Structure 1
Amino acid sequence: MKKKKVVLSVRSLCKDYRRPNGNMFTVLEGINLDIYDGEFLALVGLSGSGKSTLLRCMAGLLTPDRGTVSYATPSPENMQLGAFVFQSFALFPWMTIRENIAVSMPKLSRNEQNERIDRIIQMVGLKGFEDAFPRELSGGMRQRVSLARAMVSDPMIMFMDEPFSALDPLTSESLRAELVRIWSQPDRKIRSSVLVTHRFEEALQLADRVLILSSNPGTIFRSIEINLPRPRMPNSKEYKEIEEQLEKAFGLLHLDKVTDEHDYETLVPDLTPVQKTNLSQEQSAVVTKSSEKHALNENKKAKEPNQTKQKRVKPLINTNLTLVEGLVSRLSTEDEETDLYDLCEEMGQSVDQVLPAVAAGETLGFITTPGIRVVLTEQGRLFATEHDTEVRSEMMRSAILKLPVVYSIYALVKNAGQEGLEADIAIEQIVMMLPFEDHDVQFQTLLKWCRYANLLIYDSDEEKLFIPD
């Protein structure tokens, strides 16, 4: 079997950033990959997995903090190593289309530039628009100019960072088809391409291989080969099988990252007499059982002073709790366990839309996710079947208060009394408990969830948190 030629090699790549509060966090850690001659590679992953950061490191726009990125010797030797297509069009508004494309070829003579520009303009469908200005073109046409500018220098590798995300669905579909046509031409000069995308259909239409990245920090979770001829038929059996394989891998990754039931210990606050009175006998039993389990865990830890393993506190999932309530109610109508993808299909929603609600439901203890199944817990079923709105609200309040981040900040606000707790102190607590998360997003999510359950009030003028009367 003929060995594939490697055009770019990444070894042990790590990239760190410093947050505004001064804390360092690792975006990418231990990335190892090879890009082969003639390969179209797609990078997909969770939000914050470092897809764009990895792309920029490979393209030379960012310098890794550790590890290496190395290119093969180009042939011919004067070939440009790489070119970049950004999400935004990034065109010079005072230049014509021809002038915008020529920017990437400063070392060539005017005749050589014109020859290449004429060829590439024909290739990307811009014939007749050479002397137009960007403001005179539609979004799709402007992105064609961006593609032309990257391709005209005949780079060894073309890097694309979500190039179609700013376009409407029809235009992006048209441009993807155009890129497939260009990539299939035998006289193309570009040896390889790397695409960052959050859309599975883009990866399936364009790529020969898909790398799925995990997050916190970004690592390679799985690699999936797509050995299908272009153009690809979405209705074909082979296409559907790879699509299902990709979706399930991505779903497992997401659920593993945000809903691992062994990832942290839940603190169970004591309920007030009013809360206990409002709970039914069955619901009280659930809370009591949970509290007893927590007490047993504490006693066990007290008897094992040498145990130093520290559990990671789970972040809050930035989603609307109304969606979580709707999901829990929907699951209560199922007689059997539900597959995540069957559930999304029945609800007419994409996996990306449903997953945050699933993750939040598990964080609250209403849902469990063995594999890619979505199952109501005993507490979740009690919540879904409770018709008394006051009791239902108290159950939600209790579930939110059990979360370590919420519980700790609620206690700080309570101790602050009528003076209220400064928002900066709450954010410092979040940074301490969740050093690798975006503290602003976590704070806003905490406010959203606590408002929903009437746990906390935030005065934006004083920038303080209070307990409701």
Structure 2
Amino acid sequence: MPKELRIKSMSKKKIVLSVRSLCKDYRRPSGNMFTVLEGINLDIYDGEFLALVGLSGSGKSTLLRCMAGLLSPDRGTVSYANPSPENMQLSAFVFQNFALFPWMTIRENIAVSMPKLTKQEQHVRIDRIIQLVGLKGFEDAFPRELSGGMRQRVSLARAMVSDPMIMFMDEPFSALDPLTSESLRAELVRLWAQPDRKIRSCVLVTHRFEEALQLADRILILSSNPGTIFRSIEINLPRPRMPNSIEYKEIEEQLEKAFGQLHLDKVTDDTEYETIAPEIQPIQKPTEIQNKNKTTSPIVDKNMEESKLNKDIQHTKTKRVKPLINTNLTLVEGLVSRLSTEVETTDLYDLCEDMGQSVDQVLPAVAAAETLGFIITPGIRVVLTEEGRKFASEHDAEARGKMMRYAILKLPVVYSIYELVKNSGEEGLEADIAIEQIVMMLPFEDHDVQFQTLLKWCRYANLIVYDSDEEKLFIPD
């Protein structure tokens, strides 16, 4: 548990937890160190419900665990105010996967968080919390007898029964179906509004905007690589909140724009990764003699394509390596085709509204199209490039496929692994070698996600095939 420290009130709010210059590092399997969180400074106030959102890999759960004392920061401090009363538990944690003991009854699972209380005191508190969270009648049931929603109620009850000063929740509803999630969120809103609530503050990690908007008083958006605080958004709306109200929609739009800008900045920032791709030798020209009548043969066509590709690759080596975006390239093709019908440029939010999709649904396709060079995103506008317009206007399936293969192969990560696979010949390239190459080129990214995305994109473009039995990559015939 982080050390206790008396913290003086700032302004009119009492600070119950203070984070200063927090940094957290991890060592990858390759031995390289990378920083997940760097320079995090934040205060959590008495009576505040705080939500943490951010891109994948931004360190939301790591920050939550550092604040809860489940992880120790490598640098910086986490400090709690002195509890009042003095015997008050500092914190409790609600996990994503319920984390219940299957051999214990519901009553016994809840009692685990109160080892210092007498049996009589435990009995009184458990009866109170079971009534509060709607578990009356299930006290002697086992977890296997309950639905997912009921089991998560048990997790909430176990965290709340000890009356902690701060309750931490790591995506507590993500494993539930939408209706159950909505029901539990409404239940949490009701519990938070109880006048006799002992819990002083709550911190929630979520990837769902509606969850943060319904529950939080303040939303912190985290950037990634390494994780830092990108923006803070205050929500001064009474609970329960009406999603159709003008005030709610204004804050929702503010959150979506901030998150969208963060995502686009991540994709378009040329200073994000250092290029550490290996030296790529130019593809050797075929020795066949060109036809004297200057009629272009298929061999010469291929030679010209490879020459242009080599030139583009050498050009990209002066830039920064960008990660592959884990999305379906069919969506990218659809996005590019949709943009080609626009007479004028459109912004991301108008585009999402026209398509009937939320920003977080469209963003991966936008990011992937940007990575492939089909669009640019100045500010929040989405604009087709010349290559993107050519791609959208090409109706021949074979020619369109060549353009997609070319766009994918220009990406340094793909090209470097493609060359390794090609040079491996009929033996094929071991998957571990490809993953090591990804780790070297993109040390801050999840290498498993990057590898699976590379396979998906290369399979789509018929560049590389993967034999899962041999765990090897091959060039298709």
TM-score by length of 2: 0.88
Q: CA deviation at 1:294?
A: 8.0
Question: Equivalents in 2 of 1:187, 1:315: separation in Å?
Answer: 49
Change (3 A) 1:128 1:334: same
Q: CA deviation at 1:441?
A: 2.2
Q: For this pair of structures, how many residues does the alignment match? A: 452
Q: CA deviation at 1:134?
A: 2.1
> Quick check: 1:431 aligned with 2:439?
yes
Match of 1:76 among 72, 77, 85: 85
User: Which residue in 2 is equivalent to 1:216?
Assistant: 225
How big is each residue's C-alpha offset from its partner over 1:137-177, in whole Å with a ceiling of 9 and x where there is no partner? 22212211111111111100000111111111111111111
SS at match of 2:169: strand
> Quick check: 1:370 aligned with 2:378?
yes
Change (3 A) 1:115 1:315: same
Contact 2:57–2:445 at 8 Å: present in 1 too?
no
Identity of aligned residues (%): 85
SS at match of 1:132: coil
SS at match of 1:12: strand
Name the aligned partner's letter for residue 60 of structure 1: G
Could you tell me which runs of 5 or more consecutive residues in structure 2 were left unpaired when the two chains were aligned: 1-9, 286-296
Q: CA deviation at 1:93?
A: 2.2
Q: CA deviation at 1:271?
A: 11
Contact 1:14–1:67 at 8 Å: present in 2 too?
yes
Match of 1:63 among 65, 72, 94: 72
1:232-251 matches, cutoff 5 A: 232-251=241-260
> Quick check: 1:252 aligned with 2:266?
no
Contact 1:263–1:311 at 8 Å: present in 2 too?
no
Name the aligned partner's letter for residue 326 of structure 1: G
User: Which residue in 1 is equivalent to 2:402?
Assistant: 394
Q: CA deviation at 1:426?
A: 2.6
How big is each residue's C-alpha offset from its partner over 1:222-265, in whole Å with a ceiling of 9 and x where there is no partner? 00000111111111111110000001000100111123366578
Name the aligned partner's letter for residue 338 of structure 1: T
User: Which residue in 2 is equivalent to 1:320?
Assistant: 328
Match of 1:54 among 63, 66, 71: 63
User: Which residue in 2 is equivalent to 1:440?
Assistant: 448
Q: CA deviation at 1:398?
A: 1.2
Name the aligned partner's letter for residue 447 of structure 1: L
Q: CA deviation at 1:421?
A: 3.3
How big is each residue's C-alpha offset from its partner over 1:315-372, in whole Å with a ceiling of 9 and x where there is no partner? 1112221111111111111222222222223323332222111111011000111122
How big is each residue's C-alpha offset from its partner over 1:387-436, in whole Å with a ceiling of 9 and x where there is no partner? 11121111111111111111222223333344443333333322221122
Match of 1:15 among 17, 24, 30: 24
SS at match of 1:445: helix
> Quick check: 1:130 aligned with 2:139?
yes
User: Which residue in 2 is equivalent to 1:307?
Assistant: none
Could you tell me which runs of 5 or more consecutive residues in structure 1 were left unpaired when the two chains were aligned: 299-309
Contact 1:14–1:65 at 8 Å: present in 2 too?
yes
How big is each residue's C-alpha offset from its partner over 1:285-317, in whole Å with a ceiling of 9 and x where there is no partner? xx97x988888899xxxxxxxxxxx75311111
Question: Equivalents in 2 of 1:40, 1:73: separation in Å?
Answer: 19
Question: Equivalents in 1 of 2:28, 2:63: separation in Å?
Answer: 18
Change (3 A) 1:434 1:331: same
SS at match of 2:97: coil
Question: Equivalents in 2 of 1:39, 1:263: separation in Å?
Answer: 34
1:1-40 matches, cutoff 5 A: 2-40=11-49
> Quick check: 1:383 aligned with 2:391?
yes
Match of 2:186 among 177, 180, 183: 177
Contact 1:143–1:163 at 8 Å: present in 2 too?
yes
Q: CA deviation at 1:2?
A: 4.8
Question: Equivalents in 1 of 2:26, 2:130: separation in Å?
Answer: 39
Q: CA deviation at 1:448?
A: 1.8
Contact 2:107–2:140 at 8 Å: present in 1 too?
yes
Question: Equivalents in 1 of 2:252, 2:128: separation in Å?
Answer: 35
> Quick check: 1:466 aligned with 2:474?
yes
> Quick check: 1:188 aligned with 2:197?
yes
Name the aligned partner's letter for residue 227 of structure 2: G
Change (3 A) 1:84 1:386: same
Q: CA deviation at 1:58?
A: 0.4
> Quick check: 1:102 aligned with 2:108?
no
Contact 1:275–1:394 at 8 Å: present in 2 too?
no
Question: Equivalents in 2 of 1:342, 1:34: separation in Å?
Answer: 36
SS at match of 2:29: coil
Question: Equivalents in 2 of 1:390, 1:254: separation in Å?
Answer: 32
Name the aligned partner's letter for residue 388 of structure 2: G
Match of 2:338 among 330, 335, 345: 330
Change (3 A) 1:295 1:432: closer
RMSD, matched Cα = 2.7
Name the aligned partner's letter for residue 71 of structure 1: Y
Change (3 A) 1:122 1:291: same
Question: Equivalents in 1 of 2:19, 2:316: separation in Å?
Answer: 44
Contact 1:268–1:402 at 8 Å: present in 2 too?
no
> Quick check: 1:355 aligned with 2:363?
yes
Name the aligned partner's letter for residue 312 of structure 1: R
Change (3 A) 1:135 1:334: same
> Quick check: 1:151 aligned with 2:160?
yes
Q: CA deviation at 1:94?
A: 2.5
Question: Equivalents in 1 of 2:265, 2:126: separation in Å?
Answer: 48
Name the aligned partner's letter for residue 331 of structure 1: L
User: Which residue in 1 is equivalent to 2:234?
Assistant: 225
Contact 1:338–1:373 at 8 Å: present in 2 too?
yes
**Worse-superposed segment, 254-263 or 364-373:** 254-263
Name the aligned partner's letter for residue 135 of structure 2: L
**Worse-superposed segment, 255-264 or 216-225:** 255-264
User: Which residue in 1 is equivalent to 2:462?
Assistant: 454
Contact 1:427–1:439 at 8 Å: present in 2 too?
yes
